[in-house]
Chains A and B, each alone.
Chain A
């Protein structure tokens, strides 16, 4: 069993690696423990900065990005191991500690893990890290043999001298290789020579997730540790006016009651249950601030005003939309809308912190180790160099754990209990009501068809909240949040052949904090665009696939995926009685996706999705098996949200406090999913998020095919169809 090493050496190896290169049969001999990572000793040699090789050939690949279920840890290890020519069954992983990355001036690059960038923006340097290590190992063997390195070849962690047939294992030359200079000119393999990249190897982090031994951040145990429960002002922007600690001081286990910033109070106790129980009894008076009267109705009206308000931020335009609409043979218009949505990660927000004078140590599940480190330092005004971050695997992230509010809170609490580690855990209710929600938006679309039924004008006006204005205003582009137009700018929109096009937005920022939610703005934008394109196809009297093909002539990669998925789904072929199809496509996060849904609607009007056939072209697929799992997972996440997901606002606060009112997808809600990885090569696209955008429009378009009714607002539960 692996324990979180508290007195770690240079790195924290909490990424439990599991031998997995070999195909497992349906029955596994022995115990899970046999597959669990064996504690790696100290004897390893650092060959370059990315690889540590032990005398027994155990090869530890360092991972800078975070693992939240998306499989990046395994994918990155594959990239390094392939260029290293390592024996995959010997590969383990460990996280780079953020403070090491800081001390070495970001030698391991960007630690942030979001935007489906974990792999695609580090492919070059991690592969070079593996290749450089291989060159060093080969050079060390050549030196030992006194032969030119060019006469030696490496494969499966063994170096062979071609002419003499002599062999040395990596473990035998690692110590010597570690002393060599890291080469600067590092050629990478031609994709045709990849052995591990592109293979559906098993994840390296599975076994310990099956027997309860994996230590998530919420499971951290430290000597003398206290636990904290926190209450934040229910109204966003409100503050704590006062609290009466005396009332709960005598309750079992209570250690202290501490203010946390302007808007929260925490109870610190021996156990979290004691802390939570006491917090529930703590009299707190809130200053709810100026937003305490905001409700769904006021928000809806405010957002709607952005549909025809004058200050529209421009996304892109070509041609003359207004003239083309005026001159169109037929015009179609529709308004769509989607609600706020919480991430609701399985593991609620939590962080353990210990503050000792001007030094701080945290144990945290974060999507960005660097940011967590900086946030801890800034929260209590200490030097970043004085912060140590123990990264754990995440009980999911979906963008929520790219924020650091919970890290700052834990550190501020721990500072008030000096010298003692304090584990702060949010209750699910706090987690539900203090998120960074998927933005609320509405969209008005106008389309113009010519006499032949071809789309000649398209105007999409978004109205609603900007994520960047809320969380990263400095990243706006001359006051415009380009991210709001995800899927619709020239580099992502599949319909650039439409001659007259305008994409704009009436920004309407509410007081509800918004953030990056798996798939981000593609989620709702794809619903708006793909359902409206379907409306236009219907108005033109054309098949939705044919209609799209005609306006995708400038976007061959989008079109190729759409065509492939249509073919795999049997588009146009007969279906069983009562079953209908819908189709859609979307480009985002560097990948191209399409889906076909097959649905039926029963006599009571209830929707049933029988099957979704989907495809992604992510260029190179590092691990097609894991890509397929990401596609399935994204559909469960996306469909659940579209069926039930909705955060409502009353008296300035979020109403839904738990999974009883914020319903998400469960087993019975998820249809059969056929996930096709259509990797065409030549580029690296993201895989964790892009497919989520295509599940809902496909289903909604199929619902129309079945009923002739358009559902233009989500969630579907409000229409009584699920």
Chain B
């Protein structure tokens, strides 16, 4: 599989108690299992089926995804800023591979 790249948008600094928007995107074909290849064979399903966002180790938001999610899945959601630390992101592929990313956050 080609290189998988993710990009996450998290403010570097925020006030305690502030609700921040988080944006994430990851390069992934999200092969739906519905398409055929050039000789008519079904291309097997291969999607990211699970996404988890943790804030200093505590899961704050998660998703189950199905084949209708587009290639290079994009997601925005919110979280409450509680303390300085790290927000981590994990995307779980059908093949079991887990792709991760993280971003620091500083409470001002």
Interface of A toward B, CB cutoff 8 Å: 306, 309, 311-313, 466, 469, 473-474, 476, 479, 505-510
The reply to whether B36 and A479 contact each other, CB–CB distance below 8 Å, is yes
Closest Cβ of chain A: how far from B92's Cβ, in Å? Answer: 25
Closest Cβ of chain B: how far from A506's Cβ, in Å? Answer: 7
Closest Cβ of chain A: how far from B23's Cβ, in Å? Answer: 16
The reply to whether A309 and B34 contact each other, CB–CB distance below 8 Å, is no
Contact residues on B (Cβ < 8 Å of other chain), bracket: under 10
The reply to whether A479 and B38 contact each other, CB–CB distance below 8 Å, is no
The reply to whether B39 and A469 contact each other, CB–CB distance below 8 Å, is no
| Distance in angstroms between the alpha carbons of A508 and B35 in the assembled complex | 14
Residue with the highest number of chain A CB atoms closer than 10 Å, among B35, B37, B39, B41: B39
Query: Chain B contacts of A469 at CB under 8 A?
Result: 35-36, 40
A-B residue pairs in contact (CB < 8 Å), sample of 30:
A306-B39, A306-B40, A309-B39, A311-B39, A313-B40, A466-B40, A469-B35, A469-B40, A473-B34, A473-B36, A474-B34, A476-B36, A479-B35, A479-B36, A479-B42, A505-B40, A506-B39, A506-B40, A507-B36, A507-B38, A507-B40, A508-B38, A508-B39, A508-B40, A509-B36, A509-B37, A509-B38, A509-B39, A509-B40, A510-B38
Closest Cβ of chain A: how far from B105's Cβ, in Å? Answer: 29
Query: Chain A contacts of B34 at CB under 8 A?
Result: 473-474, 476, 479
Residues of B36-87 at the interface with A, using a CB-CB cut-off of 8 Å, are 36-42
| Distance in angstroms between the alpha carbons of A505 and B42 in the assembled complex | 14
Query: Chain A contacts of B37 at CB under 8 A?
Result: 509
Query: Chain B contacts of A312 at CB under 8 A?
Result: 40
Query: Chain B contacts of A309 at CB under 8 A?
Result: 39
Query: Chain B contacts of A510 at CB under 8 A?
Result: 38
Query: Chain B contacts of A505 at CB under 8 A?
Result: 40
Closest Cβ of chain A: how far from B71's Cβ, in Å? Answer: 13
Residue with the highest number of chain B CB atoms closer than 10 Å, among A306, A312, A507: A507
| Distance in angstroms between the alpha carbons of A507 and B34 in the assembled complex | 15
The reply to whether A473 and B35 contact each other, CB–CB distance below 8 Å, is yes
Query: Chain A contacts of B40 at CB under 8 A?
Result: 306, 311-313, 466, 469, 479, 505-509
The reply to whether A311 and B41 contact each other, CB–CB distance below 8 Å, is yes
| Distance in angstroms between the alpha carbons of A621 and B33 in the assembled complex | 43
Query: Chain B contacts of A476 at CB under 8 A?
Result: 34, 36
Query: Chain A contacts of B35 at CB under 8 A?
Result: 469, 473, 479
Closest Cβ of chain B: how far from A516's Cβ, in Å? Answer: 19
Closest Cβ of chain B: how far from A216's Cβ, in Å? Answer: 37
Additional A-B contacts beyond A469-B40, A505-B40 (8; CB < 8 A): A309-B39, A313-B40, A473-B34, A476-B36, A479-B35, A509-B36, A509-B37, A509-B40
| Distance in angstroms between the alpha carbons of A506 and B36 in the assembled complex | 12
Interface string of B14-47 (1 = CB under 8 A from A): 0000000000000000000011111111100000
Given A474-B34, A479-B34, A507 and B42 touching (CB < 8 A)?
A: no
Query: Chain B contacts of A313 at CB under 8 A?
Result: 40
Query: Chain A contacts of B36 at CB under 8 A?
Result: 466, 469, 473, 476, 479, 507, 509
| Distance in angstroms between the alpha carbons of A309 and B34 in the assembled complex | 21
Residue with the highest number of chain A CB atoms closer than 10 Å, among B34, B35, B38, B41: B38
| Distance in angstroms between the alpha carbons of A311 and B39 in the assembled complex | 7
Closest Cβ of chain A: how far from B76's Cβ, in Å? Answer: 16
Query: Chain A contacts of B42 at CB under 8 A?
Result: 479
Top-9 shortest CB links A-B: A507-B40, A509-B38, A479-B42, A311-B40, A479-B36, A311-B41, A473-B35, A469-B36, A313-B40
Closest Cβ of chain A: how far from B68's Cβ, in Å? Answer: 10
Nearest neighbor of B42 in chain A, beta-carbon distance: A479
Nearest neighbor of A509 in chain B, beta-carbon distance: B38
Closest Cβ of chain B: how far from A466's Cβ, in Å? Answer: 7
Query: Chain A contacts of B39 at CB under 8 A?
Result: 306, 309, 311, 506-509
Query: Chain B contacts of A474 at CB under 8 A?
Result: 34
Nearest neighbor of B41 in chain A, beta-carbon distance: A311
Closest Cβ of chain A: how far from B86's Cβ, in Å? Answer: 33
Residue with the highest number of chain A CB atoms closer than 10 Å, among B34, B38, B40, B41: B40
| Distance in angstroms between the alpha carbons of A312 and B36 in the assembled complex | 12
Nearest neighbor of B43 in chain A, beta-carbon distance: A479
| Distance in angstroms between the alpha carbons of A510 and B37 in the assembled complex | 10
Closest Cβ of chain A: how far from B11's Cβ, in Å? Answer: 24
Nearest neighbor of B36 in chain A, beta-carbon distance: A479
Closest Cβ of chain A: how far from B6's Cβ, in Å? Answer: 22
| Distance in angstroms between the alpha carbons of A421 and B41 in the assembled complex | 45
| Distance in angstroms between the alpha carbons of A473 and B38 in the assembled complex | 12
| Distance in angstroms between the alpha carbons of A548 and B48 in the assembled complex | 54
Closest Cβ of chain A: how far from B49's Cβ, in Å? Answer: 20
Closest Cβ of chain B: how far from A383's Cβ, in Å? Answer: 18
Closest Cβ of chain A: how far from B79's Cβ, in Å? Answer: 27
Nearest neighbor of A312 in chain B, beta-carbon distance: B40
| Distance in angstroms between the alpha carbons of A506 and B37 in the assembled complex | 12
Nearest neighbor of A469 in chain B, beta-carbon distance: B36
| Distance in angstroms between the alpha carbons of A647 and B42 in the assembled complex | 29
Nearest neighbor of B38 in chain A, beta-carbon distance: A509
| Distance in angstroms between the alpha carbons of A504 and B70 in the assembled complex | 31
Query: Chain A contacts of B41 at CB under 8 A?
Result: 311
| Distance in angstroms between the alpha carbons of A311 and B36 in the assembled complex | 11
| Distance in angstroms between the alpha carbons of A605 and B41 in the assembled complex | 44
| Distance in angstroms between the alpha carbons of A311 and B35 in the assembled complex | 14
| Distance in angstroms between the alpha carbons of A508 and B40 in the assembled complex | 7
| Distance in angstroms between the alpha carbons of A466 and B36 in the assembled complex | 10
Query: Chain B contacts of A506 at CB under 8 A?
Result: 39-40
Residue with the highest number of chain A CB atoms closer than 10 Å, among B35, B36, B41: B36
Query: Chain B contacts of A306 at CB under 8 A?
Result: 39-40
Closest Cβ of chain A: how far from B30's Cβ, in Å? Answer: 14
Closest Cβ of chain B: how far from A439's Cβ, in Å? Answer: 13
| Distance in angstroms between the alpha carbons of A56 and B42 in the assembled complex | 62
Closest Cβ of chain A: how far from B104's Cβ, in Å? Answer: 31
